[in-house]
Amino acid sequence: MKFYGKARIKLSKSPPEEFLEELTNIVSKLNEETLLRGVKNPEDGARIISFSFKDDVITFEIESGRLIPVHTAALRIKNFLLKILGMHYKIGIRELTLESPKVILNGELRINIDIPIIEEIASSNGQTIITLKPLNESLLQKPIFQRLVDLITEKEQRKQWGGKIEHWQKIKESQRKEIKFRDDPNVILEEIGWISNVAPGQWLFTPPFAHILRKFEEMLIDIILKPLGFMEAIFPKMEPISIGLKTGHLKGTPNQMIFASIPRSYNIEEFEPWQDYVTIYNEANPDFLKSFLESPKYYLCFAQCPPFYEFLSKKVFTEKHLPIKWFDRSGPSFRWEGAGGLRGIERLVEFHRIEIVWLGTPDQVIEIRNKLLERYEYFMDKVLDLEWRWAWVTPWFLVHAGETEEMGDKIDINQPGTIDFEAYLPYKGSRDDNKSWLEIGNISIHGAKYTRAFRVQHASGSVLWTGCSGFGVERWVLAFLSQKGFERDSWTKTVQEYIKDLPSGLEAANYPSPQYLNLKRAIEEKVGIKCE
Ligand code: ATP
Ligand code: ZN
Ligand code: MG
């Protein structure tokens, strides 16, 4: 990677002949010292390849290597001149502009970057040249070049990843379980009226199903979280977009986030045209409504743990405060999954999740993750008796943050990374087909990704790590019902103990649909609801 540009320096007045005679020496000094400062290999530094002057403007043509990009070189030249001009000639510098800045890359890359400072991207003769618009000094002071270089590197790495979000490697699996049930619980739940669709990916859960979901939460809390000392906290469910900027979600997953807008004004009088419109047309017109709203400043709960990092931000911890072990289950998460991907409670727009979060030293974070894994395994095997498998997934975001690398055949899980928990859904088909498996939860060690982004500190200066684990309640219930069915006798002892006083589902003259009324009653009897 090489850089090129022309630093145009405008002085407060035309310099005297004497200074211009000195300029060749100044350029030599710059090339031999200033523009090589801090680099071992001169190729990595910068050099002035030509210069010219006219009236009060001096222009330096600069070529530079990786370590002293052209914008840094331009600033160094300016500071150097400033001293000489000020001291000997009482001349100041009015303006510094970098003209025709270019980033020159090896190879003909097909990269596409659409940001306003880029003028052109062209590749030919084994090179790719990115030309920027002229940069004024305030832009040169910002790390724009560095970020552009990072962005290009990221795009290149990403291509090598094949556009995937994560790499998947199985690390553990349960025994095969005898499958006695093959129906699709999504369909049954809707037919018997336990769940009712409200909008794409959003459902109303009637009391029997709500009861089952809550009991699964209770089992997780009683059997995994409380014994390990996790405490409940309540996190907000609408987050300022600035949080998403720090976590990286705003950049990485804007296509899946649901954004929220507040009204332009609190003054109801300003809504008079809207009120008149609604009165006359009785129509919820979103385009007209939009004109009364601000641009989105929030997004609805997406990953659930980010408010935890925001809370930790700038706090300083010592040994006695650590580790912190919390969980949140105070409200739903929202994800736009695209219109095609939604299906029953398998993939929802509004779903419920218990989010488990922890902070500590790297050793503490690994140990907590390992204890959680042990309990999760017990939960999957003994409490629910599921057929499951775990996969080490190397998420792109951790690779990009430099927290982890993709691994070969031998996997060391005691480092930043994610383990996905998947369950077999018999109604989907054969076990051999990956599509028959559903991610029901996961557990991650983030390394210092978030403690760095949110500046969470240890008083001693040593590094702090975080971890999180998401328990998607609907998905665990779906996995359980898919494998065990609605027959109470097929459920494990613990589940039977927890789900005892199941309320019966609602019946109205036309609900559930009359053709399924008998099915509803039969199922409710099988799960142990005493029907009248
Ligand atoms: P998937 O690969 O199925 O899209 P994900 O990797 O996007 O899942 P995470 O972001 O890791 O999921 O979220 C953690 C947990 O939240 C998941 O394991 C799952 O239990 C739950 N979850 C995520 N998205 C949904 C959804 N659209 N509907 C229901 N549950 C979900
Ligand atoms: Zn999380
Ligand atoms: Mg997803």
Query: Where do the domains of the chain lie, and which CATH numbers do they carry?
Result: 2-161 (3.30.70.1920), 219-231+303-517 (3.30.930.10)
pLDDT at 159: 75
Q: Which residues contact 184 (CB under 8 A, 6 or more apart)?
A: 344, 427, 482
Percent of the chain with pLDDT over 70: 98
Inter-axis angle of helices 207-220 and 473-484, nearest 10: 100
pLDDT at 409: 65
Q: Whose CA is nearest to atom 30 of ligand 1?
A: 472
Q: Which amino acid is at 360?
A: G
pLDDT at 406: 63
Residue among 502, 500, 508, 505 nearest 520 (CA): 505
pLDDT, average across residues 213-229 = 98
Tell me the per-residue pLDDT of 356-393, one tens digit each, with 9 for 90 and over. Answer: 999 999 999 999 999 999 999 999 999 999 999 999 99
Residues pairing with 51 in the sheet: 60
Residue 531 predicted with pLDDT over 70: no
pLDDT at 158: 76
Inter-axis angle of helices 17-32 and 70-84, nearest 10: 140
Confidence of residue 421 (pLDDT cuts 50, 70, 90): very high
CA max distance for the chain: 107
Residue 295 predicted with pLDDT over 70: yes
pLDDT, mean over the chain? 93
* Residue 263 burial (C-beta neighbours within 10 Å; 0-12, 13-18, 19+): middle
pLDDT at 407: 61
Of the candidate ranges 54-58, 128-132, 212-216, 399-403, the one whose mean pLDDT is the lowest: 399-403
Residue 532 predicted with pLDDT over 70: no
Q: Quote helix, strand, coil % in the chain, to nearest 5.
A: 40, 25, 35
The three-state secondary structure class of 75 is helix
Task: State the alpha helices, DSSP H only, in 342-487.
Answer: 362-378, 396-400, 449-453, 473-484
Which DSSP state fits 226? T
- DSSP-derived pairing of the beta strands 465-472 and 457-458: unpaired
Is there an atom of ligand 1 within 6 Å of 442 CB?
Answer: yes
Question: What's the rounded Cα separation, in Å, for the pair 15 and 11?
Answer: 8
Question: What's the rounded Cα separation, in Å, for the pair 255 and 302?
Answer: 12
Mutate to test the pocket of ligand 1, among 442, 446, 473, 476 (most ligand atoms within 8 A of CB): 442
Confidence of residue 396 (pLDDT cuts 50, 70, 90): confident
pLDDT, average across residues 498-516 = 96
Is there an atom of ligand 1 within 6 Å of 56 CB?
Answer: no
**Which ligand lies nearest to the CA atom of residue 420 in the structure?**
1
Question: What's the rounded Cα separation, in Å, for the pair 126 and 128?
Answer: 7
pLDDT, average across residues 98-112 = 87
pLDDT, average across residues 314-321 = 96
Is there an atom of ligand 1 within 6 Å of 213 CB?
Answer: no
Angle at 482 between CA 477 and CA 485, to 5 degrees: 95
Confidence of residue 414 (pLDDT cuts 50, 70, 90): very high
Report the run of H or E that residue 225 belongs to, with start and end.
Answer: none
Atom of ligand 1 nearest to the CA of 353: 16
Is there an atom of ligand 1 within 6 Å of 377 CB?
Answer: no
Which tokens sit at 213? 């979901």
Of the candidate ranges 16-30, 233-247, 321-335, the one whose mean pLDDT is the lowest: 16-30
Which positions are annotated as active-site residues?
305, 335, 337, 347, 355, 420, 439, 442, 468, 475
Whole-model pTM? 0.86
C-alpha 48 to ligand 3 mean position (Å):
51
Question: What's the rounded Cα separation, in Å, for the pair 82 and 312?
Answer: 44
Task: State the alpha helices, DSSP H only, in 33-184.
Answer: 70-84, 137-141, 144-160
Tell me the per-residue pLDDT of 430-488, one tens digit each, with 9 for 90 and over. Answer: 999 999 999 999 999 999 999 999 999 999 999 999 999 999 999 999 999 999 999 99
Q: Which comes out higher in pLDDT, residue 168 or 288?
A: 288
Instruction: Please state the φ and ψ torsions of residue 498, each to the nearest 5 degrees.
Output: -70, -45
C-alpha 249 to ligand 1 mean position (Å):
14
Q: How far is CA 66 from CA 104, 142, 240, in A?
A: 10, 17, 36
pLDDT, average across residues 202-225 = 98
